Chain A
Amino acid sequence: MANRREFLKKTVVFTASALVTCSPSLHAQWSAENFPPHLLDDSIVNREIIDTDLIEIKLPKIAEKDVAIAITVTSSLENIQNIAIFVEKNPIPLVAKFNLSPELDAFVSARLKMTETSNVIVLVKTYDGLYRAKEQVKIILGGCGT
């Protein structure tokens, strides 16, 4: 009986510790799988990225640190598969990746936060290739920008 109790106690402790230790690694795996920072590097992506002005990004020029910034992306590209928004200098750059169905217009609005002045990159994947547009946002500390 004591053995069984001991066994149960151990299993509970073991599973609890496994859950605790696994969760950060799961988190890392998720980030690595879906939001790889190295995606920004052209050389690693095996497809060529084309800079285009067919993607329109609406962002403020100046914003505060770690405060939600509204972003609106519209595009006149056709056959869009997905739209990904990145902030270049954030620890994990990807804000969100939207897989759009053909029933949606090329219009996405979201919010993002930034730690320092950097470029916001929008990658649009179509059946023809990858397209990119950039916009810089200046981050200031405190409310009054000078």
Chain B
Amino acid sequence: MSSIKIRSKRLKENTQLRILIAHPMEHGSNQDKFTNQLIPAHFIRILTVTCNQKVVVSCEMGDSTPKDPYLAFMLKHGKTGDKITVNWLDNLGNIDSEEHIIN
């Protein structure tokens, strides 16, 4: 199952996109409570949102982003049938992507 959930909502003129990603977002300076060792860094570096294969947002995430990041954007004049794709790349080289069609 994909780690990304996308929801879209048609408002008066715009379309709101809401994205929720399941990811630990460990920044590498947290300690394990039981072993007292540092938890290795595992966080999303770049997230891109495309609309009909055109990049709309590219987002660089930092260490102050909490676990399971949530983002929302407002798309101007979104139409029914527009294809939204979200993909991310983390520091371990993992990637994931998800498609969504505005209805």
Contact = CB atoms under 8 A, between A and B. Distances in A.
B27 interface: yes
B64 A98 contact: no
A27 B41 contact: yes
A72 B74 CA distance: 12
Interface in A82-123: 87, 90-101, 103-105, 107-114
Nearest to A87: B64
Contacts of A68: 66-68, 70
Interface residues of A, number: 37
B62 A35 contact: yes
Interface in B48-76: 51, 54-76
B91 interface: yes
Contact of A92 (B54, B55, B64, B69): B64
A27 B28 contact: yes
A34 interface: yes
A88 to B, nearest CB: 11
A76 interface: no
Contacts, number: 110
Pick the most buried of B28, B62, B66: most chain A CB atoms within 10 A of its CB: B62
Question: Which applies to chain B's interface (DSSP): helix, strand, loop or mixed?
Answer: strand
A30 B66 contact: no
Interface residues of B, number: 33
Pick the most buried of A26, A66, A96, A97: most chain B CB atoms within 10 A of its CB: A96
Contacts of A103: 51, 54, 56, 75-76
A114 B64 contact: yes
Contact of B64 (A70, A94, A104): A94
Interface in A1-49: 23-24, 26-27, 30-31, 34-35
Contacts of A91: 29, 63
A102 B57 CA distance: 10
Interface in B24-62: 27-29, 40-41, 45, 51, 54-62
Contacts of B3: none
B64 A90 contact: yes
A95 B64 CA distance: 5
10 A-B pairs with least C-beta separation: A109-B72, A94-B62, A105-B74, A107-B74, A92-B63, A68-B66, A95-B64, A113-B66, A35-B62, A97-B60
